[in-house]
Structure 1
Amino acid sequence: MQRQPHHTLRDLLDDALRPAADPAAPRVLLGLAGPPAAGKSVLAHALVAGACERLGPGAAAYVPLDGFHLSNAQLQRLGLSDRKGSPPSFDAYGYAALLARIAAAPPHDVYVPDYDRALHEPVAARHTVHPHCRLVVTEGNYLALDAPGWREARALLHGLWYVEAPDPERERRLRERHLGNGSSAERTAARITGNDRPNGEAVKAARSRCDRTVLAPPLG
């Protein structure tokens, strides 16, 4: 895996758009993997916005893995409520199936679910991949996992970047996120220790399946 953490956002956008430059080329699916709070969504949104600015509205689309969180009811049924955000708490096969639909570039809009941090639940059809979309940026913790469902999703990506951030910075962001979502200080500390850290280690163990490493959020 090539380690190139010091590229600017413009560099990364150039790299992301290069395979999509030929209108006759297949739609490009770029994945961003990385541990919790590494900056994946920040980078994904920046790439999509930059691509649309260069190529026109709807030329790029955002597809978050978080839309495939299992509902709280399903997590409770499966005994996973305390491991929300871990690999088994996602519908990996559903995510792979959506990527396959998107990769086929159908002549109609494809609707994409998301996760609502206010509701603490996944929500349907928040994002849209339009028929003329050239670049799809999808992000999530586990895109590089070598496990059923995740392997099928990885095979559909034209590229997969590992988004890196120092662990102390990630945990600071996680604390702010959990506290901002209404968790107590005690609950926040327990979630980071008992869930976020193990999840992060699982992601790090799979980073060799990524094509390159970048720092996020990118600057410049």
Structure 2
Amino acid sequence: MEDLARRASELVADGRRRLLGIAGLPASGKGRIAEQLLARLEDRAVLVPMDGFHLAGAELRRLGRQHRKGAPDTFDAAGYVALLRRLRAAEDEVVYAPEFRREVEESYAGAIAVPREVPLVITEGNYLLLGQGVWGHVRGLLDECWFLEPDDRQRVNRLIGRHMRYGMSRRQATEWVYRSDERNAELVATTRNAADLVIPGDPT
């Protein structure tokens, strides 16, 4: 973890705005690694997760996609790309980003403030390296992107446990993981080679 923090710090050694992406399969530990980087970089970094661009539950139901929440087409990818462009330009005094809250399974607009003087924006999510459609614009907006590759059995167990913490039974959680999350994981795994750095195991 210290090596990763050093690498992130070197990205902004000149004080200019940089964007660092952390990609990986569902429950690979992206958010946990991002939070640990924040703790080490303190006021030099802000975290803006991709998950803030989940489509609202009402919209997913309208589209008939509520049972595949988390798939690439269940996000506002264009909105995410537009935000990354604003963050990269660093022209506004403050840019506000949305935040996804699992306890209600919805996003809150304007929940994350990114002041212009903060040099490093860390963004994490499944599809940062996906070269399809609008998602294909994300990679070019990142100065670096890392890919997390933990033990697959531990990752799936974490996924099941996460769903259970937010109200599913073990049977429901297991069904959701293998019907939806793991289909997404298969797609994300194909993007591994586009990363600047592949991190095996658990760097913590």
Larger relative contact order (CA 8 Å, sep ≥ 6): 1
Q: 1:14-47: per-residue Cα shift (whole Å, max 9, x none)?
A: 1111121013xx3110001100000000011111
Q: Residues 43 and 217 of structure 1 are in contact (CA less than 8 Å); yes or no, is this contact kept in structure 2?
A: no
In structure 1, list runs of 5 or more residues that go unmatched. Answer: 1-8
Tell me which residue corresponds to 2:23: 33
Please give the TM-score of this superposition, normalised by the length of structure 2. Answer: 0.96
Q: 1:22-79: per-residue Cα shift (whole Å, max 9, x none)?
A: 13xx311000110000000001111122111xxxx3x210010000000001111111
Tell me which residue corresponds to 2:41: 51
Structure 1 counterpart of 2:93, from 108, 115, 133: 108
Q: 1:109 to 1:217 in 2, by over 3 A?
A: farther
Q: 1:138 to 1:96 in 2, by over 3 A?
A: same
CA deviation after TM superposition for structure 1 residue 216, in Å: 6.0
Tell me which residue corresponds to 1:42: 32
Structure 1 counterpart of 2:130, from 123, 141, 145: 145
CA deviation after TM superposition for structure 1 residue 211, in Å: 1.1
CA deviation after TM superposition for structure 1 residue 126, in Å: 1.9
Alignment coverage as a number of residue pairs: 204
Distance (Å, rounded) in 2 between the aligned partners of 1:167 and 1:61: 29
Matches within 5 A, 1:97-176: 97-176=82-161
CA-based RMSD: 1.1
Query: SS of the counterpart of 1:37?
Result: coil
Q: 1:148-171: per-residue Cα shift (whole Å, max 9, x none)?
A: 111111110000100111111011
CA deviation after TM superposition for structure 1 residue 208, in Å: 1.1
Q: Which amino acid aligns with 1:66?
A: D
CA deviation after TM superposition for structure 1 residue 185, in Å: 2.0
Q: Write out the 4+ residue segments of structure 1 that deviate beyond 3 Å after TM superposition.
A: none
| Percent sequence identity over aligned pairs | 41
Query: SS of the counterpart of 1:136?
Result: strand
Please give the TM-score of this superposition, normalised by the length of structure 1. Answer: 0.90
Distance (Å, rounded) in 2 between the aligned partners of 1:78 and 1:120: 17
Distance (Å, rounded) in 2 between the aligned partners of 1:215 and 1:39: 11
